[in-house]
Amino acid sequence: MYPGKYFDNKTAALTTVDIQFYQEYLEFRMNRNGVRSRLSWLYKEINVQSVNGKQLRISTAAEGGLEIDDPECISAFSKLYYANRGYSVHEWLLRLGNKAVYTVALVLLLIVGLCYFVVLPILADQVAQTLPRSFDKKLGELAQSTLDETTDTAGSKLLTAFAGKINWETPDTLTFSVKSSKIDNAYALPGGYIVVYDALLKKIKTKEELAALLAHEVSHVKFRHSTRKLCKDMSTTLLLDLFLGGMGAYSGLYKNANTLHSLSYSRKYEKEADLEGLTLLKDNKIDQHGMLHLMETLSSIKQPVNMPTFLSSHPLTKNRIKYVDRQIKKHPAPAVQNEDLEKAFRKLKELYPS
Amino acid sequence: MQQVYTPPAPGGLFSSPRLKFIGNGGTYFGILIVNALLCAITLGLYYPWAKAKKLNYLYQSTTLEDSSFTFSGTGNEMFKGFIKAIGLLIGFGIIIGILMRVHVALGIIAYLVGITLLLPFVIHGASRYRWSRTSWRGIRFGYRGDRSAFVALFIKEFLLTVVTLGFYGSWMVINLRNYIISNIRFGSGEFKYKGDGWDFFVLNIKGYFLTIITLGIYGFWWQADVFRYYIDHMTLSQGDRSYTFRSTATGGKFFGVILLNMLIIIFTLGIGYAWAEVNMFKFIAENIEIEGDVVLEQLSQTEEEYTNAMGEDLADFLDLSII
């Protein structure tokens, strides 16, 4: 016998009743104003609602319902009722309350995390690989048309001549150009457009440094970093919209979280380009230390703000020097003095003296 | 602000039943996330069932005198409404499309008129469905409004608002509220809402200017005033006995709960949305005081069941939020 409260669907009055559970049905007795009565309901004809696992409401279409908050009664009922029915995910959520929810949340979080950190990058890379290289070319042209920069024709010609002396080991057609700007920078657009600003050319002292710089940028093109990053960013947005949008919550903030993460993603690319650049130098018998000197040159350039590693898209120079140094020691290679390259570099330097 | 004081009826008991929201953010989050997952997998077709699950939880987590409310609407009912609503909107879209081809202005006018005419039908349908599917201790709620009367009222109020360039808006809100709430039944109990457009207008004008002057800070107090105006003018009567409702929410309290919710949402990147919503429901339930001599136990069953959920679903499509 368990205590419960009965309502008869006629008025909102509650009557105290004694409930008993059997295999297939439940039965309860009551005493209303001296009138004794007894009702029994089959489990298959009742509707059960659990309120946060603490209260139970059993209702029938015709004869009213019961409110139960005695924990022993609830567990006795649940054992019998759910034994021959099983319950849905929703009922399970409601019955177990917080415990179930945290489990579900944790599992979902793990799935989302796995998707985000493992599946998505792989998938995005797969997608990027199915895209033809001509897509990169178009993307690069598009990007170039939006940039309003003046090309230094004479310098570009000399830079192209310099780059022509090196075997880049890539199927891409590469276009090298010099643009005038006060910023010390160089970049690679997808499809093989490599741009060096004249300010940076003036700071570069040796042909090895310049070769290292170009090798780094060519490696970005070779590994199609821009296209891969684009694919990943797009699929990430889709995934997040699917999960957070469907929940009813929409916060532009998750995009910022994503940006933070995609910065670290590009750092991975930078490292890849550095290491591939070293290999290119080695294969062309150019002194790999050019890469180290390039980094020293870059680090001597005063940056307006000193950003912590996790915020900057390039790995901190100290960091880079460390792994580049390690790589050179691991794969030492003889360097041959290349007169052609030296000549091409000197011509370029005449145009852009230090 | 007038306070209606109801003296205890002779022999009657003066009581103040407690309204509580006992849901917890964790469970609600679980429901929402499972819903989201199923909606994503089924490309949105699960939506009506998801909504039923969500409403079920919210209703059963709201208690009056420790007995919870029940939402007995089902996903199947709402799915039928969902299909009908989609059909209606597609038909509407096709007609607009044809008119657009005849003349662009004609299409735009037809679109605006169509949506305006659709609104009262939607509000009416949604109210009937939602209230008939709400119950407490087996006693059903119900909405007894008359469709043509409501449509006529809505159109009249809407036209007046358009003609007065929106100034009549306060009157429109209150007059519609008067009509809708006064037609809600809680078994044999009858809700009444007696608001006055002028009072509400003054409240809003004051709120509007003070909010601008205080660079938005007064907004919370304005919100508290509107909430109080909505709650305090409502009564529930059963025969000659009645309950009055009173808001205890202040601008400061609103400020607290909204700030907290904003912080939760920001710092959890939106995932804490479920907890924020639960906080809001708790806040609302805690800040409504009910007092009077109605004997809840004597409320008796009077309302019919109504299972056409088309209005409910249309309301979702038009993004109307109905309590």
Q: How do residues B89-118 score in pLDDT, each as one tens digit?
A: 899 889 888 888 888 888 888 888 888 888
CB contact A7 to B (< 8 Å): yes
By Cβ distance, the residue of A11, A105, A253 closest to B269 is: A253
Which of A51, A69, A89, A250 best probes binding to B when mutated, by most B CB atoms within 10 angstroms?
A: A51
A7 contacts A65 by C-beta, under 8 angstroms: yes
C-alpha distances in Å from residue B283, one per residue of A8, A48, B63, B70, B256: 32, 28, 14, 20, 10
Sort out which chain B residues have CB atoms less than 8 A from A242's CB and list them: 40
Distance of CA A34 to the CA centre of its chain: 70
Mean pLDDT score, B200-228: 91
CB contact A115 to B (< 8 Å): no
The DSSP letter of residue B247 is E
Sort out which chain A residues have CB atoms less than 8 A from B60's CB and list them: 49, 51, 57
Q: To 5 degrees, how large is the angle CA B61–CA B185–CA A62?
A: 70
A28 contacts A21 by C-beta, under 8 angstroms: no
| Cβ density class A197-230: b for 16+ within 10 Å, e for less | bbbbbeebebbbbbbbbbbbbbbbbbbbbbbbbb
By Cβ distance, the residue of A14, A242, A254 closest to B137 is: A14
Residue B171 has pLDDT above 70, yes or no: yes
The DSSP letter of residue A49 is E
Sort out which chain A residues have CB atoms less than 8 A from B271's CB and list them: 244, 247, 249
Q: What is the pLDDT of residues A89-129, one digit of tens each?
A: 677 777 666 676 677 778 777 887 887 778 877 888 888 88
Cα distance between residue A64 and residue A32, in whole Å: 15
CB contact B271 to A (< 8 Å): yes
Residue B12 has pLDDT above 70, yes or no: no
Q: To 5 degrees, how large is the angle CA A312–CA A315–CA A321?
A: 150
Give the dihedral of Cα atoms B8, B11, B16, B22; nearest 10 deg.
-160
Mean pLDDT score, B13-23: 88
Question: CB neighbours of B306 closer than 8 A, spacing ≥ 6?
Answer: B128, B129, B132, B133, B142
CA distance, residue A11 to nearest chain B CA (Å): 4
Task: Transcribe B40-70 into DSSP letters.
Answer: HHTTTTTHHHHHHHHHHHHHHTEEETTEEEE
Selected residue with higher pLDDT from A77 and B321: A77
What per-residue confidence (pLDDT) applies to A302? 59
Q: To 5 degrees, how large is the angle CA A103–CA A109–CA A113?
A: 150
A172 contacts A219 by C-beta, under 8 angstroms: no
Sort out which chain B residues have CB atoms less than 8 A from A101's CB and list them: 26-27, 29-30
CB contact B73 to A (< 8 Å): no
C-alpha distances in Å from residue A45, one per residue of A19, A302, B148: 17, 79, 39
Question: CB neighbours of B135 closer than 8 A, spacing ≥ 6?
Answer: B69, B70, B72, B141
CB contact A92 to B (< 8 Å): no
pLDDT band with cut points at 50, 70 and 90 for residue B317: low
Residue B88 has pLDDT above 50, yes or no: yes
* Helix pair angle (A133-146, A225-240), 10° resolution: 90
Residue B127 tokens read as 């109210």
Please, what are the domains in chain A? 2-96 (2.30.29.30), 132-351 (no CATH)
A323 contacts A235 by C-beta, under 8 angstroms: no
What per-residue confidence (pLDDT) applies to A244? 58
By Cβ distance, the residue of B33, B60, B301 closest to A247 is: B33
CB contact A249 to B (< 8 Å): yes
CA distance, residue B75 to nearest chain A CA (Å): 13
CB contact A110 to B (< 8 Å): no
Sort out which chain A residues have CB atoms less than 8 A from B67's CB and list them: 14, 67
Tell me if A104 and B56 make a contact (CB, 8 A cut-off).
Answer: no
ipTM of the complex: 0.73
What per-residue confidence (pLDDT) applies to A133? 84
The DSSP letter of residue B300 is B
Tell me if A67 and B67 make a contact (CB, 8 A cut-off).
Answer: yes
Sort out which chain A residues have CB atoms less than 8 A from B68's CB and list them: 51, 55, 57
Cα distance between residue A13 and residue B207, in whole Å: 43
Residue with tokens 């033809």, as numbered in its chain: A132
By Cβ distance, the residue of B31, B57, B273 closest to A249 is: B273
C-alpha distances in Å from residue B16, one per residue of A280, B182, B293, B294: 83, 21, 8, 9
A68 contacts A77 by C-beta, under 8 angstroms: yes
By Cβ distance, the residue of A7, A12, A254 closest to B270 is: A254
Give A173: exposed, middle or buried? Use CB within 10 Å, 0-12, 13-18, 19+: exposed
Mean pLDDT score, B123-151: 89
Residue B165 tokens read as 């360039």
What per-residue confidence (pLDDT) applies to B182? 93
Q: In the predicted model, what is the mean pLDDT of chain B?
A: 86
| Cβ density class B239-257: b for 16+ within 10 Å, e for less | eebbbbbbbebbbeebbeb
Residue with tokens 């002779």, as numbered in its chain: B10
Question: CB neighbours of B138 closer than 8 A, spacing ≥ 6?
Answer: A7, A8, A9, A10, A12, A59, A64, A65, B301
B25 contacts B261 by C-beta, under 8 angstroms: no
Residue of B nearest to A52 (CA): B23
At position A47, the amino acid (one-letter code) is N
Tell me if A249 and B61 make a contact (CB, 8 A cut-off).
Answer: no
Tell me if A242 and B301 make a contact (CB, 8 A cut-off).
Answer: no
Question: CB neighbours of A347 closer than 8 A, spacing ≥ 6?
Answer: A158, A161
CA distance, residue A39 to nearest chain B CA (Å): 17
Q: How many CB atoms lie within 10 A of CB A35?
A: 7
At position A123, the amino acid (one-letter code) is L
CB contact B42 to A (< 8 Å): no
CB contact B240 to A (< 8 Å): no
* Phi, psi torsion values for B272, nearest 5 degrees: -80, 10
What per-residue confidence (pLDDT) applies to A262? 55
Q: How many CB atoms lie within 10 A of CB A263?
A: 15
Tell me if B68 and A104 make a contact (CB, 8 A cut-off).
Answer: no
Residue ranges, chain A, pLDDT below 50: 246-253, 305-312
Give the dihedral of Cα atoms B94, B98, B100, B106; nearest 10 deg.
-100
Residue with tokens 């010609």, as numbered in its chain: A157
Residue A38 tokens read as 């007894």
By Cβ distance, the residue of A12, A52, A242 closest to B27 is: A52
Q: What is the pLDDT of residues B245-292, one digit of tens each?
A: 999 999 999 999 999 998 988 887 777 888 899 999 999 999 999 998
Sort out which chain B residues have CB atoms less than 8 A from A7's CB and list them: 137-139
User: Helix or strand or coil: residue B155?
Assistant: helix
Tell me if B26 and A97 make a contact (CB, 8 A cut-off).
Answer: yes
CB contact A62 to B (< 8 Å): no
